A and B are shown apart, each in its own frame.
Chain A
Amino acid sequence: MIPASFDYVRPTSVAEAVQALADGGDDAKILAGGQSFIPVLRLRMGDPSLVVDLGGIAELRGVREEGDKIVVGAMTTHHDVTRDDLLNQHVKLISEATKTVADFQVRHRGTLGGALAHADPAGDLAAPTLALDAEFVIAGPDGERTVASADFFEDYFTTAIGPQEILTAIRFPKYTGWGARYEKFNRVAQAWSIVAVAATVKVEGGTITDARIGLTNMAGTPVRARGVESALVGQTMSEETVRAAAQAAAEGTSPTSDADAGSDYREHLAKVLTGRAVLAAAG
């Protein structure tokens, strides 16, 4: 790869990284796994003056339990997410979605925080965090702040992270005992999602008592299928009720049209895949 030239720093603490960004000015960029950023550099679609590599900051890696929350360091790799017992037990949806990301090589390098901050509407991890009501911990020159997932994703490739800020952790509420499924629809295994549905449901005694559903690539940001959620809650679990509730999946979405799918097809897929995701999650 031959990118345009840039300066490079590899800080060992969040404080150093924040300082490096502040010193680097508007053209400083963060390297957080590089599975999207390196191709951008290689294709010369971006030409940052400074690259701040977060790979040397140990405190940004790992999963830990903090009271009723599971906290994932932003630089935790996809591979480590899929193998983590706490996440598998309490936040299964994020584990399931992460298993579908690209391929082994990408999952070994790419990070949860990097993917979320990149905010590709076809990326697989934004919709689960939205569905799970995750919180985003962001560090900057003025200290640390927390942003709710509903406020985090602003537009295509745009989040609430400011120019001099760093996403440091993602906090998930516990969904212990909930079923989860990430239903991904793409053309080949390594391709981006055309549409995908992240669903996690709580079923008690044959009744759906709670449901969280997020949609991938149905708008510039992930979309919460609240209409489906409310239609499901309180219903007796059956294929008919789920499929009927899933008909509301495209409400409030604004999917794009491209060579892989027209907007009408995406809306249709959202309904079909929502039904399948909920059934699998409940199953």
Chain B
Amino acid sequence: MTTVENSAPAQEIGRDRRRKEDRRLITGRTRWTDNQAITGLLHLSIVRSPFAHAEIGSIDTSAAKQVPGVVAVYTAADIGADAVQLPCAWPITKDMKSPQRPALAGSRVNFAGEGVAVVVARTAAAAKDAAELVEVDYSELEPVLDMEEALKEGATLVHPELGTNENAQWVFDSGEAGSGGSASEAIAAAEKADDQVVITRRFRQQRLVPVFMEPRSTVVDPTGEQLVMWSSTQVPHILKTMLALTLGLPEHKIRVIAPDVGGGFGGKIAVAPEEVVTLLVAQKLGKPVKWTETRSESLLTAHHGRDQIQDLTVAVTKDGVIKGLDVKLIADMGAYLGLVGPGVPILGAFMFNAIYKIPAYRFDCTNVFTTKTLTDAYRGAGRPEATFGIERMMDEVAVELGIEPMELRKKNWIKHEEFPFTTVSTLTYDTGNYEAATEQAMSMFDYDGLRREQQERRDRGDVKQLGLGISTFTEMCGLAPSRVLGSLDYGAGGWETAAIRMLPTGKAEVVVGVSPHGQGHETAFSQIIADKLGIPFEDVEILHGDTQSSYRGLDTYGSRSLAVGGIAMVKAAEKVVEKAKPIAAYMLEASEDDLEFTAGKFSVKGTDKGVGIQDVALAVFAAHDYPEGIEPDIDAHATFDPENFSYPHGTHLCAVEVDTETGFVSLYKYVCVDDIGTVINPLIVEGQVHGGLAQGIAQALYEDAPYDESGTLLSGTLVDYTLPSAADLISFDTANTSTPSTTNPLGVKGVGEAGTIASTPAVVNAVLDAVRQYGVKDIEMPTTPYRVWTALNSAKGTGAQSDEANVASPGAGLGSMAKSDSVKNQGGAL
């Protein structure tokens, strides 16, 4: 028992803390899944189809089995992998068409890269050598590659048994929902009205690859009482439950561990076929087994993202007030449905209306099967697509009407005094201040100054023309209120759990259900707990990712870790304090009513008597003397189910230089002011924003995952998938405004996806702003130099005939080597 010291610990929330997990992560001292070393571990190599669509005839494994070190070679049927139905947790409509998705293909492959057999060997090298010797007899079928063609009568079917390539059609109509008027009526009225116009545009969201840094890896040890799976996953809890449901295993006999995971961006929200194959092989052999993918396997077979055709129609008055919005989407699911794949475009349904007061809205999305790698969540998942659509459209409307693009936005956005605001798509935005974020961004950007510079360059006829692009975005994140998810037919809730264990020496172990893969949870969460319990930051340990310690959780995606998981931690901390209070009162020989808890100390009001919560932890451990009728335990567990999403917003402004001779686009200036409510750790927030911007800018300028006419992925290595590095980006100017969320006690909003969601349209709007003066109407993403130059030439009518051949360059490194006999025959040095 001590007297209260006056030196309260410094406030942790809002403090720039360096990430405490980084020492082990960036020095390579952690153990990733692939580093797990178990005695007797066997290694897998998966034999994959080179064809997009083919019947599998015979599979000859005899040569592979002869390779020294090979333990077994299995086809799908040998391990029952063809009979598995990998789960899709989001049946978006009652009549959604859902093909069986096996762990290995049995009779037919439906995308290039699909697994057809697996080699098990004592070394990874032997497995790989043997996999090359497995002879598979394929009969090629027509690939299905074009979404619109796939929906036509008589189209080749990816899954003939479904009778259609359409997965589902999902419609929201504000007229029918009662949340607004009828968009079709608004558009029809605008067509007749003299003071209104109707504007229609088609935008294309290209296919992207998440490209997490750590390739996927899974180890399964079946030798203990519980089968243990280590996996590089974002969703250990969902994976555990889904493995039980999918494979009929008793859930209590499975333990899933996501150790440190090196990036995900949505790409590791999955119950992957390879995870199931690894488990099936481990069970069959009764031995521990490991599968680790190569980068090429990852690019080819880990799920992709985006890939939509967007048709937008806006009815707007000639002075710029939007009267109605109609959105028609076609979304490519790829060959199968991923864990949440069909729901990804549906998340966009609530976001096309964005920050604007749109009185009538209709959203109609058709999901399509093709013979490509399946698509699923990728950073932003549905919301970048929607934000791109509406923010590109706002610029198009501004151009059509001759209104300054920011002025057009101001005419339509929700004003700060109108919050909370229920939107036409039925969400209630709790807080926000678009004026404040915009004003600060415009000032940091020197918007007027750059407009002047733009004009000067035009007047001079500079080779490098300037373009300015705007994106005033909001998004829904912090997935999610369980009741809302239920109403959307999602297969789980959206709550999150945390537990706090107060150790005898006063240290705290905090067990969380969310599972980081690079976000800095351990640091940010320690800051929250340090403040809420009033104990030193260093005294907090965050435990995550192991279903044995963290048995309850819904994992990490949709910017939910802080806005949902963080609140569960706050609730658990409140319970710890609540449980400690009567014990502290007993120790202080005071009434509970006379105690106050500040900065980690219970003190008797008006006296200098007090006891620290860490001392209470020791007292209940000893348990020699404590009040009767109370358990000697101040540990606590809490589950938080949010009542609403969180709605970060912000204003992103981008200036680009377009080299009109070459078509090259260079970033010139990038400013963003994001309102993410309360900031726990500004340094981590800035890191999240920077990374998010890089990924969003990359969609605008660099990345694309195209297929050739036979259904082969053309960006199968990082030579071809043009990922930008720091050398290609500029120094970003970031800042925050804050209107704390009113739907959670920390006032926080998600930040993990904000930069990605916001930045893409800002960049493309800027590119078009630079070249619209030459008559260019649109440029598809990524706006490569070739596309910009071609657009400039077409617009200028100089008759450049550039047919964009979809072939890998003969002179661009590795892609070419396969085609070049000289590589093998030439005696010279490589």
Binding site for B on A (CB under 8 A): 2, 4-5, 21, 26-32, 34, 36-37, 39-40, 43-48, 54, 74, 103, 113-114, 117-122, 155-159, 161-167, 185, 187-192, 194, 217, 220, 256-262, 264-265, 268-269, 272-273
Contact = CB atoms under 8 A, between A and B. Distances in A.
Contact of B810 (A21, A156, A159, A273): A156
B27 interface: no
Given A118-B828, A163-B827, A167-B828, A45 B727 contact: no
A189 to B, nearest CB: 4
A43 B717 contact: yes
B662 interface: yes
B417 to A, nearest CB: 45
Interface string B176-217: 000000000000000000000000000000000000000000
Contact of A185 (B296, B662, B706, B723): B662
A165 B826 CA distance: 10
B400 interface: no
A159 to B, nearest CB: 5
Interface in B417-474: none
Given A43-B296, A187-B784, A192-B719, A32 B827 contact: no
Given A259-B805, A264-B800, A269-B662, A187 B722 contact: yes
B728 A189 contact: yes
A2 B823 contact: no
Nearest to B704: A259
Given A167-B828, A188-B725, A36 B814 contact: yes
Contacts of A192: 719, 809, 811-813
A217 B811 contact: yes
B769 to A, nearest CB: 21
B664 A264 contact: no
7 contacts: A40-B814, A45-B818, A103-B727, A117-B828, A117-B829, A117-B830, A256-B809
Given A157-B820, A272-B662, 4 more contacts: A118-B828, A155-B822, A163-B827, A259-B808
Contacts of B818: 43, 45
Given A188-B723, A191-B722, A157 B829 contact: no
A210 to B, nearest CB: 26
Contacts of B820: 156-157
A189 B725 contact: yes
A31 B829 contact: yes
A259 B806 contact: yes
Q: Which of B296, B661, B785, B817 is packed against the most chain A CB atoms within 10 Å?
A: B817
Contact of A29 (B728, B786, B830): B830
B728 A40 contact: no
Interface string B783-815: 011100110000000001111111111111110
B82 to A, nearest CB: 27
Contacts of A31: 829-830
A40 B662 CA distance: 32
B125 interface: yes
A12 to B, nearest CB: 17
Interface size class on chain B is: 35 or more
B122 to A, nearest CB: 14
A265 B790 CA distance: 8
B809 A260 contact: yes
A162 B296 contact: no
Given A117-B829, A189-B728, A122 B822 contact: no
Nearest to A34: B830
A272 B659 CA distance: 11
A156 B825 CA distance: 12
A259 B129 contact: no
Contacts, number: 180
Given A187-B722, A189-B725, A259 B809 contact: yes
A156 B816 contact: yes
A283 to B, nearest CB: 16
B830 A30 contact: yes
B724 interface: yes
Interface in B698-733: 702, 706, 714, 717, 719, 722-725, 727-728
A220 B816 CA distance: 12
Nearest to A276: B661
Nearest to B124: A2
Nearest to B723: A188
A61 B271 CA distance: 52
A121 B813 CA distance: 9
Nearest to A54: B829
A120 B807 contact: no
A220 B717 CA distance: 22
B251 interface: no
B786 A262 contact: yes
Contacts of A103: 725, 727
Contacts of A272: 661-662
A114 B820 CA distance: 17
A260 B822 contact: no
Contacts of B801: 262, 264
Interface string B722-749: 1111011000000000000000000000
A258 B829 contact: no
A53 B762 CA distance: 50
Contacts of A40: 814, 817, 823, 830
Contacts of A54: 829
A191 B664 CA distance: 14
B824 interface: yes
Contacts of A114: 829-830
B128 interface: yes
Contacts of B830: 29-32, 34, 36-37, 40, 46, 114, 117-118
Contacts of A43: 296, 717, 814, 818
A271 B370 CA distance: 42
A165 B132 CA distance: 32
A181 B823 CA distance: 30
Contacts of A122: 809, 811-813
Nearest to A47: B824
A156 B818 CA distance: 12
B828 A4 contact: no
Given A36-B830, A74-B829, A265 B789 contact: yes
Nearest to B807: A258
Contacts of A119: 828
Contacts of B823: 40, 45-46, 157
A121 B808 CA distance: 13
A68 B567 CA distance: 75
The 5 closest A-B pairs by CB, nearest first: A163-B827, A37-B830, A121-B811, A189-B727, A161-B828
B42 to A, nearest CB: 15
Given A157-B820, A259-B806, A167 B784 contact: no
A2 B661 CA distance: 44
Given A187-B722, A188-B724, A189-B727, A166 B824 contact: no
A126 to B, nearest CB: 11
A139 B785 CA distance: 43
A5 B128 CA distance: 11
A30 B804 CA distance: 36
Given A217-B811, A259-B808, A265-B789, A188 B702 contact: yes
A192 B661 CA distance: 20
B827 A165 contact: yes
B752 to A, nearest CB: 24
A268 B132 CA distance: 43
A220 B129 CA distance: 33
A203 B781 CA distance: 43
A185 B788 CA distance: 14
Given A157-B823, A259-B805, A265-B789, A39 B828 contact: no
B618 to A, nearest CB: 52
A166 B826 CA distance: 11
Contacts of B824: 27, 46-48
Q: Which of B125, B785, B823 is packed against the most chain A CB atoms within 10 Å?
A: B823
B709 to A, nearest CB: 13
A44 B132 CA distance: 10
